[in-house]
A = this chain, B = another copy of it.
Amino acid sequence: MSGVRRPPLAEGVLPGLLGYRLRLAQQAVFRDFAKSVPGMSPGQVGLLVLIDANPGVTQSRLAEALQRDRSTMVGVLDRLQAKGLLERRRGSDRRTNGLWLTPAGRRALGRALERIAGHERRIAARLSATERRELLRLLGRISD
């Protein structure tokens, strides 16, 4: 057994900080996501959605949209391509790669989005519809 009764840690100034509370919420959401959508991260699903909604988009445009360095995209895309979820096709400007989901990628994305529906229900389980809308609005005021 492990009923070892330890007083909870004092959190000092942290609970008053918006950044800290946001980080805690994000970590809780991340843990539920990992259980709900095994084998894919929020970032990976986000990338697949972006490519699906912008077929032929280049790596650089994606990097710009995500505020990441070009070189960061290479490995991230390599991993998704290695799983057979996307293709790089050389563009008419032959410096560029256009990105497309493969049929397997579209199927995997569809399955992930089904799982995410349940995940979203769980994380918002303790919010009313009004509160959920209000939370989205307030988060928007922070992200610009």
The chain B residue sitting closest to A119, CB to CB, is B19
Instruction: Count A interface residues, CB 8 Å.
Output: 55
Q: Is the interface of A mostly helix, strand, loop or mixed?
A: helix
Q: Which of A14-39 contact B (CB under 8 A)?
A: 14, 17-29, 31, 33
Give the residues in chain B near A1, CB-CB below 8 Å.
Answer: none
Q: Which of A32-51 contact B (CB under 8 A)?
A: 33, 42, 46, 49-50
Give the residues in chain B near A57, CB-CB below 8 Å.
Answer: 9
Interfacial residues, chain A to chain B (CB-CB below 8 A): 6, 8-14, 17-29, 31, 33, 42, 46, 49-50, 52-54, 57, 61-62, 65, 67, 113, 116, 119-120, 123-124, 126-127, 131-132, 134-136, 138-144
